[in-house]
Amino acid sequence: MGWKKYEQHVDLGSLFLGDDYHVYETKEEDGVLTLCVKSTVQKCKCPTCGTESSEVCAIYPRTVQDCPIHGNTTYLEIKTHEFVCGNPECPAKTFSEQLPFARAGAHRTEALDAMIMGVAIYISFHGASMVLSLLGVKVSHDVIRRLYNSLEFEDNPDVEEIGVDDVANRKGRSYLTAIYDMETHQMIALLDGRDGKTFKEWLKGHKKVRIVARDRASAYAAAIREALPECVQVADRFHLLQNIIDRLKDVFKDNVPSKIFIRDGEILDKEPARKTAAPAPDDAVLDAIAFDNEPPLDADGDPIEYDNSLLYRNSKQAKRTAEDRKKKHDLILEVQEYSADNAATPEEVSDKFGIKASKAKKYMDMPQDKVQGILAPRRSRHSIIDDYINIIYKMLMEGHSESTVYHYVLRQGFSGSARTLYEYICNITKNNFPLRSPLASYQFWQNRYPDDVTVIRRSDLLTHVLTLNPNATQDKAIKDNLDAIKKKYPIVEFAEQSFKDFHSILMGDSTEALDEFLVEHAGDELSGFCKGISMDIDAVKNAVSTDVSSGFVEGSNNKFKLIKRIGYGRLNLSGLWKRCAVAFSCKLKNFSLRKLLRSAVHT
């Protein structure tokens, strides 16, 4: 029994464009694919009056760009019909056939527009244009911007639960109000300003809002009370914790020194004297040394050329600099050889090597000693170290230790940065005396506290006492000396306990505990914080008694910042809002870019 070969021809037109459109020819040239499409539509409705007509008065070609096929820029050349409207009262005497895959007058198919918008969601319009060109789509950034500007989004007046926060359009200069749906976490509005005025007007058009999660901003609280008095306001627990932490920072600053010094478990009343990591040589040793800053000489009395740069020769930056010097050196030699062989003018050299004519003339006239000097590492600017640089080299050449060199230069009157002096000594040693023993691991320019003294910073101490995560890494020095610190500074115990109490209240569900906390701390260091809580007591109690959180607002704000930065500050409020609306809607279950484009207003 033999096999019978069957061949099946698939009509690309009917497969992708519809049953009424057939591809009868294909053309390909220089990466551009053209599909010739014929329409078989027999009748069509007038877009003006809706009257159906089958009277064709003309056939005209129409070209639209479609999604690329195998990376080729793809165009559809379509033979479409023009019909005569049978309604004598219709102002449109004739009308063009409406394509199901492209809008009237459009230069691109709906599928391609959806692809363009999809690529541009999370990158800039310029970036999207370049990426799409690599994929075979010819579209400018202005076209992409117009696509986004044409979008229209329906407002939902029935939204009931929202989150609101201010976001920076330009940090320190202009701010916006972002409103999010608590259920879907979608941005549903982006309003100008953060003074509450625009938010208040928005609330008046959304009377069904019954819960608002917000931060501690008084402007938003006032706007909600005025527009929707019955609405439940919920303060953000994160910001409440941040408020008490900020207050405790001020308390610490007023009562605890910036550094706490501990020796043998006892808190020192005064800061101990610092000492250098390596002691200076005896005065007699330094007195017996005499070096000047004259250039070093070899055995024949000729000056010694050495690397006196601050960069270590084998560092990445030094290697890049050396490569750049080599490229410049080789270019100058090529310029001089070309100009000598061809008697070229600076203009001809400029055209040949792609450099300015003034630079070409400079290279042509440069003496050979300067050309060779380009390869030598050098410091182009005068530095305070120049008065001591030869002293450093000559002392190292004669075998003096780095510590001796350091202290001798200081005795000679060096008044610059001690760290800079140390780095020069290290790098001159590495670059010119590679056989010397490695430098000591300590940095002898540093002044240090005695080894038997433990130093604890105030900021580290505050972080330790305000950390409630049992799995967090703890500072052993603080942990071992915490009891002594609390005895010396009782405010530390107060801060730790009050923060734990407030945290447990927020994480619990007892509003009575909150009232007790406010009464307990009404007259101590937290009185200002408690007063602020009392002014917003209803929203704070709602944060304690309900499971509503504005954490989704903070997460959505981070997404907004990403979208804003993608626009490089070139988007106005309307454009920024539309980009945000598309980006936030991507994860909705029934979201479709093609449906969104069909509802757009195209000009």
CA distance 492 to 102: 70
Buried-state track 569-601, b at ≥16 Cβ within 10 A, e below 16:
eebeeeebbbbbbbbbbeeeeeeebeebbeebe
* 222 within domain boundaries: yes
* 180 within domain boundaries: yes
| Residue 97 CB partners (closer than 8 Å, separation 6+) | 39, 41, 44, 80, 81, 82, 83
Return the pLDDT at 274.
Answer: 76
Return the pLDDT at 381.
Answer: 64
Where a domain ends, among 451, 466, 488?
A: 451
| Residue 314 CB partners (closer than 8 Å, separation 6+) | 430
Question: Are residue 487 and residue 567 in the same domain, yes or no?
Answer: no
Question: Are residue 426 and residue 478 in the same domain, yes or no?
Answer: no
Return the pLDDT at 246.
Answer: 94
Return the pLDDT at 601.
Answer: 55
* 117 within domain boundaries: yes
* 282 within domain boundaries: no
Return the pLDDT at 380.
Answer: 55
Question: Are residue 229 and residue 245 in the same domain, yes or no?
Answer: no
* 283 within domain boundaries: no
> pTM for the complete prediction?
0.66
Return the pLDDT at 445.
Answer: 57
Question: Are residue 442 and residue 465 in the same domain, yes or no?
Answer: no
Question: Are residue 360 and residue 422 in the same domain, yes or no?
Answer: no
Return the pLDDT at 267.
Answer: 92
Helical axes 511-520 vs 527-535, angle rounded to 10°: 140
List C-alpha distances in Å: 436 to 377, 428, 432. 21, 11, 9
Question: Are residue 472 and residue 503 in the same domain, yes or no?
Answer: yes
Do the bridges between strand 44-45 and strand 21-29 make them parallel or antiparallel, or are there none, so unpaired? unpaired
CA distance 250 to 136: 60
Return the pLDDT at 551.
Answer: 85
Sheet order of strands, 161-170 included: 187-192, 174-181, 161-170, 211-214, 232-235
| Residue 523 CB partners (closer than 8 Å, separation 6+) | none
| Number of residues assigned to the chain | 603
Question: Are residue 480 and residue 567 in the same domain, yes or no?
Answer: no
Spatial CA neighbour of 597 closest among 106, 168, 174, 212: 106
Domain that residue 131 falls in: 113-149
Question: Are residue 96 and residue 134 in the same domain, yes or no?
Answer: no
Question: Are residue 140 and residue 221 in the same domain, yes or no?
Answer: no
* 92 within domain boundaries: yes
Question: Are residue 248 and residue 195 in the same domain, yes or no?
Answer: no
* 597 within domain boundaries: no
Where a domain ends, among 107, 136, 171?
A: 107
- Read off the pLDDT of residues 125-141 as tens digits, 9 standing for 90 and up: 999 999 999 999 999 99
Amino acid at 240: L
Low-confidence ranges of the chain (pLDDT < 70): 1-15, 276-279, 310-315, 318, 377-381, 437-447, 569, 600-603
Return the pLDDT at 534.
Answer: 92
Query: What's the total number of domains in the chain?
Result: 6
Spatial CA neighbour of 131 closest among 147, 115, 145: 115
Return the pLDDT at 433.
Answer: 86
Which helix H or strand E contains 347, and what residues bound it?
A: helix 346-353
Return the pLDDT at 134.
Answer: 92
- Read off the pLDDT of residues 100-128 as tens digits, 9 standing for 90 and up: 888 888 899 989 999 999 999 888 899 99
* 296 within domain boundaries: no
CATH code where residue 191 lies: 3.30.420.10
Question: Are residue 202 and residue 220 in the same domain, yes or no?
Answer: yes
Return the pLDDT at 198.
Answer: 94
Question: Are residue 404 and residue 367 in the same domain, yes or no?
Answer: no
Do the Cβ atoms of 186 and 588 come closer than 8 Å?
A: yes
- Read off the pLDDT of residues 515-525 as tens digits, 9 standing for 90 and up: 999 999 998 99
